[in-house]
């Protein structure tokens, strides 16, 4: 198991105590290994994979698209030098509460403004 897989497994373990959790993954290469599948099933969780090429079933793809577009326009050099800081700035810039784009993104993904007000990205 490589370091990317370890990070993924550790993030999934935060939900390990929630009985009968349903884990939905897309077909990214990082999700395709037996240890992850075994871990999910050993915790009593159910694993579903989305069909290939189905971004309409995965609302976060809309956000990733917005993030990638912002990084391409504003931060190609900065990302190479300090990826963590650049991503932090990009997330804030892409999801500003006063920015209509952030509100539209939430609504496009099926959330109302009540959920938007509780979101940790907005300060």
- What is the domain class of 3-53 according to CATH? alpha beta
Q: How many Å separate Cα 68 from the centre of its chain?
A: 13
The candidate with the shortest Cα–Cα distance to 66, out of 48, 90, 32, 42, is 90
- For residue 27, what are the contacts with CB-CB under 8 A and spacing of at least 6? 49, 50, 52
Question: What percent of the chain is modeled with pLDDT above 90?
Answer: 0
pLDDT of residue 114: 67
- Global pTM? 0.53
Domain extents in the chain: 3-53, 60-118
Q: 66-118 pLDDT, tens per residue?
A: 888 888 888 877 777 888 888 888 888 877 755 677 677 777 777 776 665 55
């Amino acid at each position: 198991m490589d370091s990317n897989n370890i990070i993924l497994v550790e993030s999934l373990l935060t939900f390990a105590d929630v009985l009968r959790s349903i884990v939905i993954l897309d077909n990214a290469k990082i999700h395709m290994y037996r240890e992850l599948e075994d871990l999910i099933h050993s915790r009593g969780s159910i694993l579903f994979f989305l069909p290939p090429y189905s971004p309409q079933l995965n609302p976060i793809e809309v956000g990733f698209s917005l993030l990638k577009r912002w990084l391409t326009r504003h931060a190609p050099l900065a990302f190479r030098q300090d990826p963590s800081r650049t991503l932090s700035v990009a997330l804030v810039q892409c999801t500003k509460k006063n920015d209509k784009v952030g509100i539209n993104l939430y609504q496009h993904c099926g959330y109302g403004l009540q959920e938007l007000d509780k979101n940790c990205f907005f300060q």
